[in-house]
């Protein structure tokens, strides 16, 4: 019998180890790193960097010559000119032509150079955007992580409170039997336990939803088995509140990526203005063309006397009216030369340059310049607004963090007082000097004080993280 019990114990123990091994408990650092690698928004933003690099390749390609080749083959049926003899003949001929052309910009108002500089700035802006998205996701992950820890502790308080009330029910049954308290208090305790059970269920649902929120940020589908490590949040060792708001703001102006993005956008707008002004200047292009052709028609290889009509009259001698004759010859045709030889014999080349001077184009260039100037002013205003927003956010974050610390400290003092009041009420209730309503009222106040400590604790932790974030301290 003992052997069977040992086997059962070992079996249960192995199942527990297997379940524990399958459930991964995540730390905050692991959550942030996993989110940076798998978050959809980060992946989407990373594609913008690839697009910016492609645009740079396009800007670099503007400095290279354009090379094009052409080939054609045609059939001419009926009366057409023989390209070899130059005569009009009623025949069917075939022709093949080949050609190549090269064109290059010699001067284009510095537009190509400015386009390349603009493309480099777009790459920098895309990197800043990716950094900002990574920071935003890290902050959201930290917030969701702390929310899970808060919900865990809140659930723990609710379960402990229900356990206390269940024990109190057993104690009250003994007090009722002893005649110390009335029997009606048992009904109050049972109703309180039922209410506690509802609170536990609600807290469990809230915890599950918070796990779902973090799991979605991490792109993890199995949120039912998802759990986090309770003591993985680093303590506030940076003492960020010892800094002044102005010092934090000065550091934020150097570190925050929002300002870097705004400054880069201003530089891009300036390059757009230079590009649009470049359209006022003339452009110079050079071209080189090569072409050749081949015919598949028979060619004239020589001439022989025309025996059927050996002579023809071309005139007469004045005075004697004697005819002037010339011999007639008939052409001797042969097969066309080899195609390769024709291509070599018929090749031709040309070199040209083209200068375009803009004079009037329906105000299009001027309108583009004016539009670019407006965009420059808009980006300047956006930069100023970003600086004001950053200043407001830093001072707000500092005030919020300081207020959260004061609220947490006050909640601890209140909890200590509520705990003493509850212990005193518990003693009075045990000897029948306090009714159940007042006793449970004291218990409710204690539970609220415990919940407030938990809330203010994690509120202070998150707001401190935000303040450190502006100071350039990473989330993990």
What does residue 143 show for φ and ψ, rounded to 5 degrees?
-65, -45
Q: Percentage helix, strand, coil, to 5, in the chain?
A: 65, 20, 20
**342: pLDDT confidence band, cut at 50, 70 and 90?**
confident
Mean pLDDT (whole number) for 232-236: 55
91 - beta bridge partners? Answer: 78
Alpha-carbon 271 to chain mean position? 24
Specify whether the CB–CB gap between 76 and 89 falls below 8 A: no
pLDDT confidence of residue 333: 65
pLDDT confidence of residue 92: 72
What does residue 375 show for φ and ψ, rounded to 5 degrees?
-65, -35
- CATH for 65-107+285-298+338-357? 2.20.200
Domain ranges across the chain: 65-107+285-298+338-357, 303-334
User: Tens digits of per-residue pLDDT, 122-155?
Assistant: 999 999 999 999 999 999 999 999 999 999 988 9
Picking from 301, 306, 354, 353, the residue whose alpha carbon sits closest to that of residue 330 is: 306
**304: pLDDT confidence band, cut at 50, 70 and 90?**
confident
Alpha carbon distance 160, 244 (integer Å)? 41
What does residue 227 show for φ and ψ, rounded to 5 degrees?
-150, 160
pLDDT confidence of residue 332: 65
**83: pLDDT confidence band, cut at 50, 70 and 90?**
low
For β-strands 348-356 and 283-295, DSSP reports them as antiparallel
Instruction: Check pLDDT > 50 for residue 161.
Output: yes
For the chain, how many residues are written?
Answer: 476
pLDDT confidence of residue 201: 94
Instruction: Check pLDDT > 90 for residue 278.
Output: yes
Collect all residues with Cβ–Cβ distance below 8 Å to 389 and sequence separation of at least 6: 258
Specify whether the CB–CB gap between 128 and 206 falls below 8 A: no
Joined together, the tokens standing for residue 299 give: 């060619």
pLDDT confidence of residue 233: 59
Specify whether the CB–CB gap between 157 and 444 falls below 8 A: no
DSSP state of 284: E
**376: pLDDT confidence band, cut at 50, 70 and 90?**
very high
Alpha carbon distance 451, 187 (integer Å)? 26
CA distances, 431 to each of 15, 62, 81, 425, 436 (Å)? 47, 94, 129, 10, 12
pLDDT confidence of residue 119: 95
- ∠ CA 121-123-128 to the nearest 5 degrees? 95
Based on its alpha-carbon atoms, the radius of gyration of the chain, rounded to whole angstroms, reads: 46
Alpha carbon distance 193, 186 (integer Å)? 11
User: Tens digits of per-residue pLDDT, 4-25?
Assistant: 444 444 334 434 443 444 567 8
The total of other beta-carbon atoms located within 10 Å of residue 101's CB is: 16
Alpha carbon distance 197, 166 (integer Å)? 11
Mean pLDDT (whole number) for 289-313: 77
In terms of DSSP H, where are the helices of 179-243?
Answer: 184-217
User: Tens digits of per-residue pLDDT, 190-203?
Assistant: 888 888 899 899 99
pLDDT confidence of residue 352: 93
pLDDT confidence of residue 17: 40
292 - beta bridge partners? Answer: 98
Picking from 222, 202, 12, 42, the residue whose alpha carbon sits closest to that of residue 126 is: 42
Specify whether the CB–CB gap between 436 and 185 falls below 8 A: yes
Q: Which residue has the higher pLDDT, 425 or 299?
A: 425
Q: What percentage of the chain reaches a pLDDT higher than 90?
A: 48
CA distances, 370 to each of 46, 122, 209, 374 (Å)? 33, 22, 53, 6
Specify whether the CB–CB gap between 287 and 354 falls below 8 A: yes
User: Tens digits of per-residue pLDDT, 401-454?
Assistant: 999 999 999 999 999 999 999 899 888 877 777 877 788 788 888 888 998 999
User: Tens digits of per-residue pLDDT, 208-227?
Assistant: 999 999 988 888 877 677 88
pLDDT confidence of residue 157: 86
User: Tens digits of per-residue pLDDT, 56-75?
Assistant: 999 999 999 999 999 998 88
**Tokens 């899970």 sit on residue:** 148
351 - beta bridge partners? Answer: 288
Longest Cα–Cα distance of the chain, Å, equals 172
CA distances, 92 to each of 77, 298, 346, 433 (Å)? 4, 11, 21, 126
Q: What is the mean pLDDT of the chain?
A: 84
In terms of DSSP H, where are the helices of 218-295?
Answer: 245-255, 257-278
pLDDT confidence of residue 181: 65
pLDDT confidence of residue 178: 72
């Amino acid at each position: 019998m003992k052997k069977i019990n040992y086997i059962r114990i070992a079996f249960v123990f192995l199942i527990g180890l297997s379940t524990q091994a399958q459930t991964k408990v995540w730390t905050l650092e692991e959550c942030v790193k996993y989110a940076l690698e798998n978050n959809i928004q980060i992946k989407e933003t990373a594609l913008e960097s690839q697009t910016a690099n492609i645009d740079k390749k396009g800007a670099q390609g503007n400095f290279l010559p354009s090379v094009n080749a052409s080939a054609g083959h045609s059939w001419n049926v009926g009366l057409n000119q023989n390209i070899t003899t130059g005569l009009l003949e009623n025949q069917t001929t075939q022709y093949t032509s080949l050609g190549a052309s090269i064109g290059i910009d010699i001067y284009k108002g510095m537009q190509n150079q400015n386009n390349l500089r603009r493309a480099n700035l777009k790459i920098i802006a895309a990197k800043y955007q990716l950094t900002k998205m990574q920071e935003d996701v890290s902050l959201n992950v930290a917030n969701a992580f702390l929310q899970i820890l808060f919900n865990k502790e809140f659930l723990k308080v609710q379960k402990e409170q229900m356990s206390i009330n269940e024990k109190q029910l057993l104690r009250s049954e003994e007090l009722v039997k002893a005649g110390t308290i009335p029997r009606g208090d048992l009904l109050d305790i049972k109703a309180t336990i039922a209410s506690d059970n509802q609170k536990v269920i609600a807290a469990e649902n809230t915890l599950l939803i918070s796990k779902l929120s973090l799991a979605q940020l991490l792109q993890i589908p199995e949120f039912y088995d998802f759990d986090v490590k309770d003591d993985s949040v680093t303590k506030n060792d940076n003492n960020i509140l010892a800094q002044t708001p102005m010092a934090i703001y000065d550091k934020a102006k150097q570190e925050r990526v929002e300002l870097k993005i705004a400054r880069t956008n201003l530089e891009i707008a300036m390059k757009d203005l230079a590009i649009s002004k470049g359209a006022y200047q003339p452009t110079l292009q050079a071209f080189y063309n090569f072409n050749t052709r081949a015919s598949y028609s028979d060619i004239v290889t020589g001439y022989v006397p025309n025996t059927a009509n050996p002579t023809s009259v071309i005139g007469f001698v004045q005075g004697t009216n004697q005819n002037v004759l010339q011999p007639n010859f008939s052409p001797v045709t042969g097969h066309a030369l080899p195609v390769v030889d024709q291509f070599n014999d018929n090749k031709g080349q040309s070199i040209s340059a083209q200068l375009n001077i803009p004079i009037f184009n329906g105000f299009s260039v001027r309108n583009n310049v004016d539009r670019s100037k407006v965009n420059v002013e808009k980006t300047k205003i956006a930069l100023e607004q970003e600086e004001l927003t950053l200043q407001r956010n830093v001072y707000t974050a500092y005030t919020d963090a300081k207020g959260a610390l004061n609220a947490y400290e006050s909640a601890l003092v209140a909890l200590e007082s509520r705990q003493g009041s509850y212990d005193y009420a518990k003693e009075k209730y045990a000897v029948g000097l306090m009714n159940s309503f007042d006793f449970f009222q004291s218990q409710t106040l204690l539970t609220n004080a415990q919940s407030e400590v938990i809330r203010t604790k994690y509120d202070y932790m998150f707001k401190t993280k935000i303040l450190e974030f502006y100071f350039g301290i990473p989330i993990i």
